Amino acid sequence: MRLASLLLVVSLLGACGSAPPAAPRASSPKAAPTQKTAEPARPRLPKEEVTFAFDRGLWRLDGTLTLPTREEGERVPAVVIVHGSGPMSRDGVMRGQIGLGFGFELPVYQRLADALADHGYAVYRYDKRTCGAFNDCADGGFTSVPYSLLEVEFATTEYVLDAEAALDAVAERPEIDPDRLFFAGHSEGGELVPVLLSDRPRVRAGVMLAPPFHTMTVLLEQQSERVRWSFTMAGQPARAEAEGRELLAAAQALRQIERGTHLGAPILGQPPGLWESWIELARRAPELARKLDRPLLVLGGNYDYNVAPSEIESWAKWLDGASRAPHRVRVLDCVTHALNCITQPDATRIKPDDIGRDISPAVLAEVSQFLDAHAARAKLTEAGR
């Protein structure tokens, strides 16, 4: 039926004559396809070292910022290295550890900075305030610094404030991503990392390399035993006895500081106030670490004579089950306090060729993987905002 009706309509139209042709419609011009103009590739900048200083109170601390290969205008994550004890330059030169000389100098912090830059990180290292022209960066004393200022200017709290000022200065640089900042502390500096992260919530995570768990009182007792053993094995019993006694006497003096009964004499050549400030922060560090909502990587070596593997194991037990952050604690085989590796497991048979002349690849792998995981997480968080 529908077909018949349609034919009828067509025939009626035909009977009325041809309908005038419809006016041709103007064809609308087709829009030209939009082509995305490819952005020119930004030039690659080479890996480089930049001299960079910052001011802190009476001091101007000089340092070096190692920048990785990157695109022009790209902002990269940054690591600030925090020194171990004693007068330390930005390069962190170590010639051995307690009771074991290497026979060469190992610039630990310079090598760490260079390796992490190869993984895409800017790394800042600076001369500790105990290392300068006033003492030629040596343990020989602070001849141009009034003794009354030593306990004030070289207190451990000042090292914390120095590290925080270094981080703040680095974060302002145009090459640095301020949302991907990290601290990496070594020895005493490692022990200070929980304090630093507590003070700087913007820091994503912290690396603690060879960090003591207990105060220096306990460490000096451990070092006294290690010195006696190592020099006795080396056929130097007189030196073993003398150095062991000196360290043990220092440990006993520190116990007096802890009890508040010390009479004020220098300990290992340093004012007691310096030791007291270190003891105070060392006591705070474990509790602060457990409360952190950001992760810590704690690494030590089973060839470390300065900070025994039992100290790292104490960190593992203390942080085990910490609910607020996924911490990682490891004791690495063959690694020393200088972060290199001694391949001879029998300490009485070590030869020069057994002592690694660079940072252990196991240390670098642990640190770079940890930083990569948390730098990537920070970038995803920022992208989701």
> Quick check: 330 and 366 in contact, CB under 8 A?
yes
Specify the pLDDT at position 8: 28
For the chain, 385 residues long, give each residue's pLDDT as a single digit of tens.
333 333 222 232 333 333 444 444 445 555 555 556 666 778 999 999 999 999 998 889 999 999 999 999 999 999 999 999 988 999 999 999 999 999 999 999 999 999 999 999 999 999 999 887 767 787 655 556 676 778 888 899 999 999 999 999 999 999 999 999 999 999 999 999 999 999 999 999 999 999 999 999 999 999 999 999 999 998 999 999 999 999 999 999 999 999 999 998 999 988 899 999 999 999 999 999 999 999 999 999 999 999 999 999 999 999 998 778 999 999 999 999 999 999 999 999 999 999 999 999 999 999 999 999 999 877 766 555 5
How many domains would you assign to the chain? 1
Range of the domain at 168: 44-214+272-383
Q: How far apart are CA 184 and CA 182, in angstroms?
A: 7
**What is the model's pLDDT at position 113?**
98
Find the CATH number of the domain harbouring 337. Answer: 3.40.50.1820
Instruction: Please report whether residue 263 resides in a domain.
Output: no
Q: Is residue 247 part of a domain?
A: no
* Among 211, 213, 214, residue whose Cα is nearest residue 187: 211
Residue 161 lies in a domain: yes
pLDDT confidence of residue 17: 39
Distance CA 92, CA 275 (A): 21
Q: Which of 373, 385, 383 is CA-nearest to residue 204?
A: 373
- The predicted model scores a pTM of 0.87
Q: How far apart are CA 96 and CA 371, in angstroms?
A: 27
Q: Kindly state whether residue 89 falls inside one of the protein's structural domains.
A: yes
Q: Supply the pLDDT for residue 37.
A: 63
Asked if residue 54 belongs to a domain, the reply is yes
Residues 6+ apart with CB under 8 A from 247: 220, 221, 223, 224, 227
Position 6 in a domain: no
Residues 6+ apart with CB under 8 A from 355: 102, 103, 340, 342
Q: Does residue 245 lie within any of the structural domains?
A: no
Q: Is residue 371 part of a domain?
A: yes
